[in-house]
Chain A
């Protein structure tokens, strides 16, 4: 019964979403609150129905209902309870259910938060949110139907992709999709502002928090994706410039640009058109990402299967871009800037440069990702550009962005005087220069590494200078140091939340630089009792044993890692063999550390278990990347708290 009920629920949800979108538009146009109210009810109804569909699918997975084709394809009787839930969004159709459900949730939150505050824009916001929602529900019913019946019902399912049996499968997609879907809200407000002719600054200040929240979840999704790649895939890396990673990275770059350019609009009434364009671009890139991931146009590690679904996304993307461009053209005359850029040496100029760099990086990533398509279309040769291309072009851009991260928050608005520059930057510049010289003298990595690390120290010094000065000012008013610092963070939480996020980016940057520079690896074959040596660590092979788990069999190697005199750490990398897979899957074991991660991947082994081939990696400073994620969370929370100080 579940396939039929599920399909029915989705069809009603689709009808309701279309109805709500239309009725809100009519209500907005004619100024009829009753109609808008009806659209609100429709939004609530759609959310309830999507929740029902979601629960129904979870229920089908938990009860092994193999009459649902999707369930039979992605689970089997051996799949553990926990992974049966994550399997719900493990493949194409189910991932769209999660996606649509989150979009429904955002729509409902917009209703709750803005139904009384955004009067003129609100009906149009509802129209856009429900319209986008209708599109996703349409995809769930036509090109990628999740509730298709499978007949005859098989005795057992095919089983989940073993790589998805990981706790990251809960957090990674959830965070990523909360980010992706979240950008629908600022987009809806942008379209509403254009339609209603209210292109002033209201819509952009209203959506600031939404953008930060979506940006945060996208950042988190990217970081967790890196963590999944690092500890599951067994290559010891966290980022491969894979098309699907790029698909999530591009909207992150444009959203980061947006978060900064919004401040320029708030403060100087500039960049209106630019901000609209960034909002539209960010939303379009989330759709483009979905298209890339789900259409099979570009194959990648985690691409879903192919089908007609790509056409749907491409068509929708075209509609979104055309409508947005049309609206912008229609309102062109009212989009002019009121402020002027006075000087190149000013905060708005630094922010503008930051935006240019971020958009340039976006373009680079886009170009590299679609390059194989371009080259085949234009020259008829299949050429791809790999990680070296992305690194080569992006590293200079990212380094300049780090530099701007130090300059932007401290430099004066409008026109910075020489005195202002000296007061703010003399110290940090000295710190950076001395650090760079020291790194070179000590022979720390290449020139590039020295520059990268010196830049992060420069930015850290900029942040420290600002904090020190502000704390001193409060202390002068009679506060003690710690309360002064705490009060500063809480009262000016928007500014200092931003600083904390910047600090998080620095921590991640040091992690990336360090791991790319100082990680070492080797591969060797060891007999039982033999040991290998890498970077001061001695790794001894102690033996292999076989075991049987609920849905796979496993061969586990035992290794003892000794460094100096300390007692040994035991690591147990394994090979898992799943019946639905033709060959075994490596299961990495590792010990994380603040500086050194010891990371073992079991390769081949002798049939009599007397010897193994093992990949040994000492990965350095990778943990800083995950730590950066924690700091990022703190900073984001701080910056979205309601401002306590009185409006300036």
Chain B
């Protein structure tokens, strides 16, 4: 191999390394649970907030397209605001991953809502807490 090809290869490798590094630092999204977020919220940082949509918290105004709800993991609760209809499979008592930012004004501003349901179709068991735990587990996996 002639040296100029080695130099060329090194230049390409360095450029690629830089692009990857820059890409990661600019588009990293941190997965947090409501307790993790409330413990150390950083305004303006990109988060993926995962948890259960709290029952009784969901409000939808078709006139202004304002969707508000709260995401909870049983220990902490985070109020979320979103513009636009919720995706399919989204609802109270179900798992959701919300992408967006902590505003510093006491609510989480969502840019994207991903509804999550466990992959196998299981009838809901209203008497136990099992399904919600299952969904939380799926969400944790989803974050990895």
Q: Which residue numbers of A lie inside 8 Å of B, CB to CB?
A: 73, 158-159, 161, 234, 296-299, 303-306, 341, 344, 356, 360, 363-364, 367-368, 371-373, 376, 381-386, 388-390, 392-393, 396, 523-525, 580-586, 603-604, 606, 611, 613, 615
If over half of A's interface residues share one DSSP class (helix, strand or loop), that class is named, otherwise mixed; here it is mixed
Roughly how many angstroms separate A381 CA and B84 CA in the complex, as a whole number?
30
Smallest Cβ-Cβ distance to A340: which chain B residue: B2
Contact of A382 with B89 at beta-carbon distance under 8 Å, contacts A296-B141, A373-B144 already known: no
Point out the residue from A73, A159, A525 that lies within 8 Å of B63, measured CB to CB.
Answer: A525
A363 contacts across to B, CB distance below 8 A: 16
Point out the residue from B16, B27, B63, B120 that lies within 8 Å of A386, measured CB to CB.
Answer: B27
Q: What's the least CB distance linking A75 to chain B, in Å? A: 11
Q: What's the least CB distance linking B20 to chain A, in Å? A: 6
Contact of A392 with B31 at beta-carbon distance under 8 Å, contacts A158-B121, A344-B4, A586-B88 already known: no
Q: Evaluate contact between A580 and B24: CB separation under 8 angstroms.
A: no
Roughly how many angstroms separate A297 CA and B32 CA in the complex, as a whole number?
18
Q: Evaluate contact between B23 and A384: CB separation under 8 angstroms.
A: no
B23 contacts across to A, CB distance below 8 A: 368, 385, 388-390, 392-393
Roughly how many angstroms separate A385 CA and B60 CA in the complex, as a whole number?
30
Q: Which residue numbers of B lie inside 8 Å of A, CB to CB?
A: 2, 4-5, 8-9, 12, 16, 19-20, 22-24, 26-32, 48, 60, 62-63, 65, 83-86, 88-91, 94, 99, 117, 119-121, 124, 138, 141-144
Q: What's the least CB distance linking B21 to chain A, in Å? A: 10
Q: What's the least CB distance linking B18 to chain A, in Å? A: 10
A-B contact pairs, 15 of them (CB 8 A): A73-B121, A234-B88, A299-B138, A305-B119, A306-B141, A344-B5, A364-B16, A382-B32, A384-B28, A385-B28, A389-B24, A523-B84, A580-B121, A603-B84, A604-B85
Q: What's the least CB distance linking A113 to chain B, in Å? A: 37
Q: Evaluate contact between B85 and A384: CB separation under 8 angstroms.
A: no
Q: What's the least CB distance linking B22 to chain A, in Å? A: 7
19 extra interface residue pairs, beta carbon distance < 8 Å, beyond A299-B141, A390-B23, A583-B88: A159-B121, A161-B121, A297-B144, A303-B119, A356-B12, A360-B16, A364-B19, A371-B24, A372-B31, A382-B31, A382-B32, A385-B24, A388-B27, A525-B63, A582-B94, A583-B89, A606-B62, A613-B62, A615-B85
A384 contacts across to B, CB distance below 8 A: 28-29, 31, 48, 143
B4 contacts across to A, CB distance below 8 A: 344
Q: Evaluate contact between A523 and B88: CB separation under 8 angstroms.
A: no
Smallest Cβ-Cβ distance to B119: which chain A residue: A305
Q: Evaluate contact between A392 and B117: CB separation under 8 angstroms.
A: no
Smallest Cβ-Cβ distance to B29: which chain A residue: A384
Q: Evaluate contact between A385 and B19: CB separation under 8 angstroms.
A: no
Q: Evaluate contact between A583 and B91: CB separation under 8 angstroms.
A: yes
Smallest Cβ-Cβ distance to A605: which chain B residue: B62
A583 contacts across to B, CB distance below 8 A: 88-91
Roughly how many angstroms separate A238 CA and B120 CA in the complex, as a whole number?
25
Q: Evaluate contact between B31 and A582: CB separation under 8 angstroms.
A: no
A392 contacts across to B, CB distance below 8 A: 19, 22-23, 26-27
B20 contacts across to A, CB distance below 8 A: 364, 367, 393
Roughly how many angstroms separate A297 CA and B144 CA in the complex, as a whole number?
8
Smallest Cβ-Cβ distance to B28: which chain A residue: A383
Q: What's the least CB distance linking A631 to chain B, in Å? A: 31
B86 contacts across to A, CB distance below 8 A: 604
B91 contacts across to A, CB distance below 8 A: 582-583
Q: Evaluate contact between A298 and B144: CB separation under 8 angstroms.
A: yes
Closest 4 CB pairs of A and B: A603-B85, A299-B142, A382-B31, A388-B27
Q: Evaluate contact between A525 and B144: CB separation under 8 angstroms.
A: no
Q: Evaluate contact between A341 and B5: CB separation under 8 angstroms.
A: yes
Roughly how many angstroms separate A276 CA and B46 CA in the complex, as a whole number?
42
Smallest Cβ-Cβ distance to B83: which chain A residue: A523
Q: What's the least CB distance linking B26 to chain A, in Å? A: 7
Q: Evaluate contact between A523 and B85: CB separation under 8 angstroms.
A: yes
Q: Evaluate contact between A585 and B24: CB separation under 8 angstroms.
A: no
Smallest Cβ-Cβ distance to A299: which chain B residue: B142
B124 contacts across to A, CB distance below 8 A: 582
Smallest Cβ-Cβ distance to A604: which chain B residue: B85
Q: Evaluate contact between A525 and B24: CB separation under 8 angstroms.
A: no
A393 contacts across to B, CB distance below 8 A: 16, 19-20, 23
Smallest Cβ-Cβ distance to B19: which chain A residue: A393
Q: What's the least CB distance linking B98 to chain A, in Å? A: 14
Q: Evaluate contact between B89 and A582: CB separation under 8 angstroms.
A: yes
Point out the residue from A161, A367, A382 that lies within 8 Å of B143, measured CB to CB.
Answer: A382
Q: Evaluate contact between B143 and A372: CB separation under 8 angstroms.
A: yes
A234 contacts across to B, CB distance below 8 A: 88
A373 contacts across to B, CB distance below 8 A: 144
Roughly how many angstroms separate A372 CA and B63 CA in the complex, as a whole number?
39
Point out the residue from B2, B62, B119, B141 that lies within 8 Å of A611, measured CB to CB.
Answer: B62
Q: What's the least CB distance linking A640 to chain B, in Å? A: 32
Q: What's the least CB distance linking B56 to chain A, in Å? A: 17
A584 contacts across to B, CB distance below 8 A: 88
Point out the residue from A158, A371, A381, A606 that lies within 8 Å of B30, measured CB to CB.
Answer: A381
Roughly how many angstroms separate A341 CA and B1 CA in the complex, as a whole number?
8
A523 contacts across to B, CB distance below 8 A: 65, 83-85
Roughly how many angstroms separate A250 CA and B5 CA in the complex, as a whole number?
26
Roughly how many angstroms separate A363 CA and B12 CA in the complex, as a whole number?
13
Roughly how many angstroms separate A396 CA and B15 CA in the complex, as a whole number?
11
Roughly how many angstroms separate A376 CA and B8 CA in the complex, as a whole number?
34
Roughly how many angstroms separate A506 CA and B141 CA in the complex, as a whole number?
38
